[in-house]
Structure 1
Amino acid sequence: MKLFLNIKENIKKCELESVAVTVVLFVTILVGSLYLIFAPKQDFSEDENRVLESAPKVSLTSLADGSFMDSIDSYVGDHFMLRKASIALNTRIQLFMGKRDLGSNYSRTPAEGGVYFGKDGHLYEVLLPNRTDIFARNVAAMQLFAEKTSLPFYFMPVPSGAQEQQDRLPFSAPSHDQHEELESIQAVAGQNTKVIDVFDTLSDSTGNDYYYKTDHHWNTYGAYKGYEALVKAMGITPTPQDDFEFEEASDSFLGTLYSKAILNTQPSDVLYLPVYKKASSVTQQTGKQQSDSLFWKEYLEKKDKYSVFLGGNHSVDVVRNPAVTNGKKLLIIKDSYANSMVPFLATNFQEIHIIDLRYYTQNIYDYIRQNKITDTTAIYSIKQLCEVLVANKLSAR
């Protein structure tokens, strides 16, 4: 009898637990569904720096080919309740389980490494060996460009933070040595090409930190060191760093590496603007728009704070400094690393013509002749040279 009563009590207890679990699940699903239906939705994730999935639209075609269900999965994944906290929790769990390479995509061509959590609050790009012909084609095109223009050409391949600060990487973390790409560029450089090696200049061994903690770019101090190396190679005396006030523009910068591995306890970066202390009337022409500053401060209120320099990447920008009358006109072909260097270069050149080959569609050789360019430079991160093909933009004449 006693045994029967115990069994009966256990059954009741199980039934109560089942009811409680069912109620919790039902309420969770109901609240989550109502949130998905009625809560305001974002079109763009500032933290992840990407467009979010829009609400799926049903049609006979999308139902037949299965794309409707795929859209629902993506939509729910992009808009579920407490999503940001869940992403941060997932990052913590992966770190706790010993995973070091977060946010990678090895199915992509070329493969994309993720992010390492390094020492001193630093995030680092995982550098992978170069397994495509993109780098070789880009470098060959740069050399052909130098030969075709017959102008002095200064090529600055910029190493990544993971290359320059290897002592801060996780213990035994694999990392490709970018000296391999530097040596390849040096090996094919022609007579009018000067390759500028900034590996030692930007190294952690100098005792300085020249890279952002949460972003893949060099910081403003790193940009100044790159500028200094470039103009010295050109035979120009660099404007002293003391002639600039490094103005703190933001202490809440969370860059591209943070977007790949979101962690809500990640320390943010301080972003500085190099403000020239002497009187200056430098202008920036972007299409039909002219600005009296090289700093687009509206970006300081956005996630992409690095775009405060020149307003980000455009097809063509022209920077003019009427206070410089040496007749020097510099053409920069570049990625975004160059953007934070331009405020320094503007003190040495009458005109700076900035072309981003990713967006430029005209004949670059015609442009050089029409604008009477005197010097040319290429400023690219080595990682970009390995991943984004720009060679075809330099082939036409």
Structure 2
Amino acid sequence: MSIRDYMMRFCAGLLVLAFAMIFIRWFTVVVLIDHCKWDNALTRLVLWDNWRLPERIHPREKDIDWAGLYPFLEPQPERSLLTEIRQQENKIREEQARIASWSETYFPGYTNIVETGRRYDQLIGWNIRPLTIGSVQVLADGWLFFPTLPFDIQEYINETASLADFCKQQGAKFLFVPNPPALDTATDSTFIGQLDFSLQKKDAMLQGLQARGIATLDLYPYMHKDFPDTPYHQLFFRTDHHWLPTTGLWAATHIARWLETAGDIPFPQDRLSLASYRQEHYPAYFLGSQGKRMTTVLAKPDDFMLLYPLFPTCLHYEIPGLGIDTYGDFSITYDMHELEHKDFYGSNPYAAYNYADCSLIRIENFAPEVADVKILMVKDSFANSVAPFLALCVRQMDIIDPRWFKGSIRRYINETHPDFVLVLHTIELDYPLERNSHQDDYDFR
């Protein structure tokens, strides 16, 4: 046989071995651990690099018919050709993400292989980073960010304005708060408007809503004003697109001030002072979503912290999708499972805040001195470190994540009668709004 034949057989053998390893791991998780309940030293040996794999074969939340509980006020529109195309595009993106996740999950030693590849790239000086949605770019100070491409967000402005008008009809005050972009106009001019357009989208969203008389709160200039001695990037994690928990607490303070002005209701804002919290530190404990893609070869893990109020708290905390319905102090809002192990690739410490992204969370506050108002917050993951702190200032806080809540947000408002509706959401939008799955960030029907 020729060398070419030997090489082909060798590569084929490696491929068969890879599939065999994936099958063994899949069989261990699905059949032995999940079905037969054989969770022992042998099965754990097969999962040597992925201790949380058995948790991931089932949906995180139980299946709740949110559309049945909160049906849409208007019938679904007929699906046009454009709608069908968008639906197919989203299905393709979801399928690509599913295959990538499946490969990462079941292939033994996947992260070690990726790290080896990063070391090789580093050795040969290969530093090409493609500018695509979801790609990771590196700033001069080492902070990472996801670039967002040019895109017309008029459809998102219209959807948000429509929700604001509906809230007004229901007697609820409305506020839109865009998540601040990761880039700083003072230091990142080479990226802004060239590789990243998040600031342009934020400004377009604010201008579009303000032109219609809709209340907005732009935290971006306040971040520069309130932290004059702190470089802007340091208000965020180095390896993740989210802001620090202390920044989330600061954001809750500004939102509370707006609520106080708009509702003429006194808020105990001392509850939102950083001095009123004990900080529990976890040094070099968190590798964010951007850092996971770069691996620890190219990204230094972030320090992490949990904030605990120094004042007494008593809450009723409910997450229907996770089967949580409990009473206790503020600590019940933390998912400590995410901090059990220092696992850069398997755990997500930021998800400890408010149990990460859940379809619906309800927080009832029994403190006698808080404002007797109800807030509905429609949010994405940035608000996970904002909503629990803001909830300490009001009687009732309901939190909906439209990516997982498949019912009608308007029906929920119609039935629960919140005093305020806050939309705290990203404007880093790169795709057309998709309505059929009821899992689009901006599907506010």
Q: What TM-score bracket applies, with the shorter chain setting the length?
A: 0.7 to 0.9
Aligned to 2:139: 118
1:311 Cα deviation after fit:
1.2
1:174-253 equivalent positions in 2, closer than 5 A: 174-189=195-210, 193-203=214-224, 206-208=229-231, 209-235=234-260, 236=267, 238=269, 239-249=272-282, 251-253=284-286
Paired residues of 2:148 and 2:430 also in contact (CA < 8 A)? no
1:213 Cα deviation after fit:
1.3
Corresponding residue SS for 2:157:
helix
Find the aligned partners of 1:314 and 1:77 in 2 and give their Cα distance.
Answer: 23
Matched, 1:299 2:352: no
Matched, 1:41 2:76: no
1:93-172 equivalent positions in 2, closer than 5 A: 96-101=125-130, 104=132, 112-131=133-152, 134-163=155-184, 166-167=187-188
1:1-397 equivalent positions in 2, closer than 5 A: 30=13, 33-34=16-17, 36-38=19-21, 40-41=24-25, 83-91=110-118, 96-101=125-130, 104=132, 112-131=133-152, 134-163=155-184, 166-167=187-188, 174-189=195-210, 193-203=214-224, 206-208=229-231, 209-235=234-260, 236=267, 238=269, 239-249=272-282, 251-287=284-320, 288-291=323-326, 292=328, 293-301=332-340, 302-323=346-367, 324-383=369-428, 389=434, 390=440, 393-395=443-445
Paired residues of 2:354 and 2:388 also in contact (CA < 8 A)? no
Q: Tell me: CA distance 1:370–1:23, structure 2 relative to 1, closer, same or farther (3 Å).
A: closer
1:275 Cα deviation after fit:
0.7
Find the aligned partners of 2:209 and 2:281 in 1 and give their Cα distance.
Answer: 41
- Where in structure 1 are there 5+ consecutive unaligned residues? 1-17, 53-70, 105-111
Q: Which amino acid aligns with 2:129?
A: R
Segment drifting more, 279-288 vs 125-134: 125-134
Paired residues of 1:119 and 1:170 also in contact (CA < 8 A)? no
Paired residues of 1:321 and 1:347 also in contact (CA < 8 A)? yes
Find the aligned partners of 2:204 and 2:171 in 1 and give their Cα distance.
Answer: 23
Runs of 4 or more off by more than 6 Å in structure 1?
Answer: 21-29, 42-47, 71-81, 168-173
Corresponding residue SS for 1:156:
strand
Give the TM-score, by structure 2 length: 0.65
- Where in structure 2 are there 5+ consecutive unaligned residues? 30-46, 58-97, 261-266, 341-345, 435-439
Structure of greater Rg: 1
Corresponding residue SS for 1:175:
coil
1:179 Cα deviation after fit:
4.0
1:394 Cα deviation after fit:
3.2
What is the count of residue pairs matched by the alignment?
A: 350
1:351 Cα deviation after fit:
0.8
Paired residues of 2:192 and 2:199 also in contact (CA < 8 A)? no
Q: Which amino acid aligns with 2:376?
A: L
Q: Which amino acid aligns with 1:207?
A: T
Find the aligned partners of 2:401 and 2:101 in 1 and give their Cα distance.
Answer: 33
Paired residues of 1:212 and 1:219 also in contact (CA < 8 A)? yes
